Amino acid sequence: MGSARSNGPGPDAGPSGGDAAGDAAPVLAAHKILIAGGFGAGKTTLVGTISEVRPLLTEERLTTASTGLDDLRGVAGKTTTTVAMDFGRITISERLLLYLFGVPGQERFWFMWDELSYGALGAVVLADVRRLRDCFPSVNYFETRGLPFVVAINCFDDAPHYDPAEVRVALDLDPDVPAVLCDARNLESVKNVLITLVDSISSGASQLAAPRA
């Protein structure tokens, strides 16, 4: 740390532009957080609120998505399923990146889950109280995998208000799984969701590391 060297002209530099002192580059590490939840639960909004969002194309098989297969009740205006995955990057430091991947909740996309969840830090399950059952598969999935997750109840303006404790019961969450209210459009709120997740991961990790405590 502490080197004041400029990083050079960046990735646009010509192919043989190379006097870049590549050896001295800091070792880059990147971590994944999955954003799951039912169709229309607010994954795209959440990712866009907190991170630098850029399009990320996934495999072509996703383009076979058909509007007829998706349940559009309560999400009028959402008429297509995007081929590009919700993908955001949070630059923690020049050598530490955090990536958010919105994983489509519909079952036909599950082939992506295994790959994305492998080695992931944890996950956020976005819940819409009007369609709570939509996030059952996500909750089941992360419970089965033992991947740390937090349930974030997205407070839509026109949705009834529920206490997180009620949602917790409805989802039959384990006591160590945090459930928080959130507004996917609000930066502080989304920050709180991710901080809650990382906090719960690190307390879980310290329990593993220091079982005698």
Closest distance of CB 158 from another protein, Å? 16
3-state secondary structure of 79: coil
**Which residue, 144, 152, 121, is CA-closest to 45?**
152
- For residues 41 and 171, which CB has a smaller minimum distance to another protein in the complex? 41
Beta strands in 14-148 (DSSP E): 29-37, 52-53, 56-57, 84-93, 96-102, 122-127
Structure token digits, residue 108 = 């036909």
Q: Is 57 in the site for another protein (CB under 8 A)?
A: yes
Which residues between 6 and 35 bind another protein (CB under 8 A)?
A: 7-8, 10-18, 20, 22, 25, 27-32
Burial class (CB in 10 A: 0-12, 13-18, 19+), 85: buried
Taking contact as CB under 8 A, which single stretch among the options 127-135, 136-144, 167-175, 205-213 is the one that binds another protein? 205-213
Q: Taking contact as CB under 8 A, which single stretch among the options 49-57, 152-160, 167-175, 176-184 is the one that binds another protein?
A: 49-57
The nearest distance, CB 213 to another protein, in angstroms, is 13
Pick the binder of another protein from 84, 129, 159, 180 (CB under 8 A).
84
The CA–CA distances, whole Å, from 145 to 1, 106, 139 equal 36, 18, 10
Window contacting another protein (CB under 8 A); options: 66-74, 78-86, 128-136, 163-171: 78-86
Q: How many residues bind another protein, per CB under 8 A? A: 62
DSSP reduced 3-state for 11: helix
